[in-house]
């Protein structure tokens, strides 16, 4: 299945909730307060979040006035285009791919960190890059086993520690190995503990210090992995991590079979952290770069209206 189709079917639940109503919202004779009320309710239901919803509504009202938008349907199209614009990622967001880099992967337990590292390793090894993985989740033996399986499948070089070993010492070993062997990308798989914010902050700060000290010329990227199915919880996790460390990108997983696809918009709007990758399954190829165009299409349009919407886009 082509990637867009996968994303499209993955977001079908979101879309059903949103789209049935989205067409209803804009299917009326004129733009009035009722339309905005219905739209607001719908966006909030879609997990787009209160702030993003308010931003969208305010922006629409402004544009309706200044750009003299009269037709509800045109306003709907305008909204979709605005969301697309806000969600766009640029080449600079993927700078870590073109430099010697260290990618710290954070997030709470079970969101898909290890799986994402496996998928990303596979992706970059496929591009001829030398990839290393550090197993800094030393708290569970099973976590190391799982990471080893992904390293074997992708062909990445794995640096592990002993069970219960200080994760920072694994990071130390891995960073030195990556530097001396000239790895293109080193992924650091961390334990997802958020039970104690102070500990988390200290642990992440320690890892960052080690990277800075041992490998100062490496490009640093911190990706937070979030499970799209958890909706607003994902947003609060992102917020908490962003408070304790510099998060430079989001990986949104499990967009297959979730009805909370709108969460990507909430994250972008509230935290201004770009969503860089999305996961749409458990397989090694089920990860892609975030594409605002595809995403918005998959979120807002019914299958048979995708082409039409495209055409109307061009006509405008």
Interacting residues toward ligand GDP by CB under 6 A: 107, 109-115, 146, 192, 225, 253-254, 256, 279-282, 286
Q: How far is the CB of 249 from ligand GDP (least distance, A)?
A: 16
Positions 122 through 161 that interact with Mg ion (CB under 5 A): 143
CA atoms of 98 and 87, how far apart (whole Å): 22
Q: Which residues contact 213 (CB under 8 A, 6 or more apart)?
A: none
Q: How far is the CB of 135 from ligand GDP (least distance, A)?
A: 11
Q: Which is nearer to ligand GDP, 60 or 278 (CB)?
A: 278
Q: How far is CA 216 from CA 131, 175, 202, 212, 278, in A?
A: 18, 10, 20, 5, 29
Nearest residue to ligand GDP by CB is 279
Q: How far is the CB of 93 from ligand GDP (least distance, A)?
A: 20
Element (H, E) at 87: helix 72-87
Q: Which is nearer to Mg ion, 101 or 114 (CB)?
A: 114
CA atoms of 159 and 173, how far apart (whole Å): 8
Q: Which is nearer to ligand GDP, 225 or 296 (CB)?
A: 225
Q: How far is CA 315 from CA 10, 74, 219, in A?
A: 29, 11, 43
Q: Which residues contact 256 (CB under 8 A, 6 or more apart)?
A: 6, 9, 10, 279, 280, 281, 286
Q: How far is the CB of 207 from Mg ion (least distance, A)?
A: 15
CA atoms of 54 and 44, how far apart (whole Å): 9
Instruction: State the binding partner of 262 from Mg ion, ligand GDP, none, CB within 5 to 8 A by kind.
Output: none
CA atoms of 97 and 114, how far apart (whole Å): 19
Q: Which is nearer to ligand GDP, 59 or 257 (CB)?
A: 257
Nearest residue to Mg ion by CB is 114
Q: Please give the size of the binding site for Mg ion, defined by CB under 5 A.
A: 3
Token pair recorded at residue 46:
């879609």
Positions 57 through 116 that interact with Mg ion (CB under 5 A): 113-114
Q: Which is nearer to ligand GDP, 18 or 287 (CB)?
A: 287
Instruction: State the binding partner of 107 from Mg ion, ligand GDP, none, CB within 5 to 8 A by kind.
Output: ligand GDP
Instruction: State the binding partner of 249 from Mg ion, ligand GDP, none, CB within 5 to 8 A by kind.
Output: none
């Amino acid at each position: 299945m082509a990637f867009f189709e996968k994303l499209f079917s993955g977001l079908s639940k979101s879309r059903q909730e949103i789209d049935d109503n989205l067409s209803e919202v804009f299917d009326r004779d004129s733009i009035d307060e009722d339309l905005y009320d219905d739209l607001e309710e719908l966006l909030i239901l879609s997990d787009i979040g209160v702030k993003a919803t308010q931003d969208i509504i305010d922006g629409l009202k402004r544009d309706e006035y200044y750009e003299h938008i009269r037709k509800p349907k045109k306003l709907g199209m305008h909204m979709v285009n605005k969301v697309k614009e806000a969600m766009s990622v640029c080449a600079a967001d993927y700078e870590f791919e073109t430099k010697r880099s260290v990618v710290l992967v954070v997030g709470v337990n079970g969101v898909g960190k290890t799986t994402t590292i496996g998928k990303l390793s596979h992706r970059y090894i496929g591009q001829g890059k030398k990839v290393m993985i550090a197993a800094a989740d030393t708290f569970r033996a099973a976590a190391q086993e799982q990471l080893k399986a992904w390293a074997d499948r992708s062909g990445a070089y794995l640096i592990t520690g002993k069970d219960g070993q200080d994760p920072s010492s694994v990071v130390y070993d891995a960073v030195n190995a990556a530097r001396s062997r000239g790895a293109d990308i080193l992924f650091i798989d961390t334990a997802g503990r958020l039970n104690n914010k102070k500990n988390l902050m200290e642990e992440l700060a320690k890892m960052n210090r080690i990277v800075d000290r041992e490998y100062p010329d490496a490009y640093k990227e911190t990706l937070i992995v979030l499970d799209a199915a958890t909706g607003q919880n994902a947003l609060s996790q992102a917020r908490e991590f962003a408070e304790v460390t510099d998060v430079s990108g989001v990986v949104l997983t499990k967009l297959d079979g979730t009805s909370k696809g709108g969460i990507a918009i909430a994250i972008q709007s509230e935290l201004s952290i770009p969503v860089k990758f999305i996961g749409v399954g458990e397989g090694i190829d089920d990860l892609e770069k975030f594409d605002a165009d595809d995403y918005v299409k998959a979120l807002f349009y019914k299958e048979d209206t995708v082409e039409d919407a495209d055409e109307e886009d061009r006509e405008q």
